[in-house]
Every structure is written in structure tokens, then in C-alpha cells.
């Protein structure tokens, strides 16, 4: 599988996660469209958070840590809020849309 991002073919695994991180905003738009999501400013805030976590730690956070961290800057966020934004699993789908490789763990988070 692959995506064409800014005119360049970017390899992805069979689940649609990029094999190498791509921090271009075009990557977010292409992958979100493939996931069938219309992005809101709230989606973009979470994408930025996921990218920062990946850059800092070399992996994205699990759902529990993601929820805790996001509540620091979005107190209204709870599990339902995040699942409404990313229905296929907030930590996994947000990482995918952010243009990041698949999260670590049992099949990802």
C-alpha cells in the first residue's frame, strides 16, 4: 500500500500506516481522506500533539496517556469525545492520520 503525498509515493503497511514519518500537512489531508474523515481544527490539534510526542519520544502515546495529556489543553475531552473524532480508535487512527508509523504494542494501541 502507498499514498501519493505532494507528488511523492510514500510506502505504507497493509493497514495504511506510513513506514516512515511524514510531517507534511498534505500527508494528513491524504490519509484523512483515505480514512473517510473530514478534519476539524480539533483534529489538527490532536495531530500536532501526536507528532510532537513522536518527535520527542520516538513513539506515540497509548490511549490512556493520550487522554490524560489532551485533557491538559482540552479539559472537555473524554473517551467519547476522542472516539467521536477518531472512531477507529483514537490513539491508532490519530497516529495514522498524523503521518506516523504504527504505534508499538499488541497490534498498536
Q: What is the CATH number of the domain that holds 38?
A: 1.10.10.370
| DSSP states along 30-88 | HHHHHHT----HHHHHHHHHHHHHHHHHSSPPPHHHHHHHHHHH-TT--HHHHHHH-TT
Residue 34 lies in a domain: yes
| Domain extent at residue 17 | 2-97
pLDDT in tens, 9-65: 999 999 999 999 999 999 999 999 999 999 999 999 999 999 999 999 999 999 999
Residue 102 lies in a domain: no
Domains identified in the chain, total number:
1
Residue 10 lies in a domain: yes
pTM over the 0.75 mark: yes
Residue 108 lies in a domain: no
pLDDT the model gives residue 104: 76
Residue 105 lies in a domain: no
Residue 7 lies in a domain: yes
Amino acid at each position: 500500500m502507498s499514498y501519493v503525498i505532494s507528488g511523492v509515493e510514500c510506502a505504507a503497511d497493509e493497514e495504511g500506516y506510513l513506514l516512515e514519518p511524514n510531517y507534511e500537512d498534505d500527508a494528513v489531508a491524504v490519509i484523512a481522506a483515505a480514512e473517510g474523515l473530514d478534519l476539524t481544527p480539533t483534529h489538527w490539534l490532536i495531530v500536532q500533539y501526536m507528532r510532537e510526542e513522536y518527535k520527542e519520544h520516538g513513539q506515540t502515546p497509548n490511549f490512556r496517556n493520550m487522554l490524560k495529556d489532551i485533557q491538559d489543553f482540552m479539559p472537555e475531552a473524554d473517551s467519547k469525545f476522542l472516539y467521536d473524532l477518531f472512531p477507529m480508535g483514537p490513539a491508532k487512527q490519530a497516529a495514522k492520520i498524523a503521518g506516523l508509523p504504527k504505534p508499538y504494542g499488541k497490534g498498536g494501541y
